[in-house]
Amino acid sequence: KTYIFLGPPGAGKGTQAQRLVEEKGFVQISTGDILREAVKKGTELGKKAKEYMEAGKLVPDDIIIGIIKEKLKELEGKDIILDGFPRTIPQAEALDKMLPEVGRKLDGVILFDVPDEEVIKRLSGRRVDPKTGKVYHIIFNPPPPEIEVIQRDDDKEEVIRKRLEVYHSQTAPLIEYYKKQNKLQVIDATRSPDEVYTELLSVLK
């Protein structure tokens, strides 16, 4: 199976993908996680991506498409969730070309629908366990006291606003793109994580 998780920053894509990994054996391909790891390690990729990410801008398409190509080869035969890719029309077109080459077809695109005000609440309270990558929220999903959590560099208010702007201008056009392909399923992602998960399971056939 091959699914895309589409939606604004802070919609809960990563949270829900993690649960599908734990409970349903999916593999999550998060371009954001891959890039953050590269930045942390200081690799060539990380050096190229850092400035874009800190500014809340998108990393250039050719870099991202290269990463995905490699991952798709590596994960042949696995059920995957593309979390945070594609994010532009050129990325989506590149994916349409790549999938048949690795023997896949797109099973669905899940749009996590949440308004901007909710995004800001979620991202300003987000914390991450740097050891496991697990995502928490200081109010909605507090980390256990023994876990030391950190805040993502791009979860500062000015950067959050920029990321939202980038989402609306560059990523939201994908909604029409996948509607036309008859692949789009919309989930009300404002509800609790459990409720969102239940609805998610009902749309993943």
Enumerate the active-site residues.
13, 87, 126, 152, 163
Q: What is d(CA 134, CA 150) in angstroms, rounded to the nearest whole number?
A: 11
What number of other Cβ atoms are within 10 A of residue 130's Cβ?
A: 13
Contact pick of 6, 13, 39, 200 for ligand AP5 (by CB under 6 A): 13
Instruction: For residues 152 and 3, give the distance between their C-alpha atoms in angstroms, rounded to a whole number.
Output: 26
Here's the x/- map for ligand AP5, 105-124, by CB under 6 A: it reads as -----------------xx-
Among 3, 4, 14, 177, binds ligand AP5 (CB under 6 A): 14
What number of other Cβ atoms are within 10 A of residue 143's Cβ? 16
Q: How far is the CB of 46 from ligand AP5 (least distance, A)?
A: 11
Characterize the bridge pairing of strands 184-188 and 108-113.
parallel
Tell whether residue 28 is a contact of ligand AP5 (CB under 6 A).
no
Footprint on residues 144-203 left by ligand AP5 (CB under 6 A): 154, 163, 192-193, 196
**Which residue lies nearer to ligand AP5 by CB, 77 or 194?**
194
Count of residues interacting with ligand AP5 (CB under 6 A): 36
Q: Which residues bind ligand AP5 (CB under 6 A)?
A: 7, 9-15, 31-32, 35, 52-53, 56-59, 64, 84-85, 87, 91, 122-123, 125-126, 135-137, 140-141, 154, 163, 192-193, 196
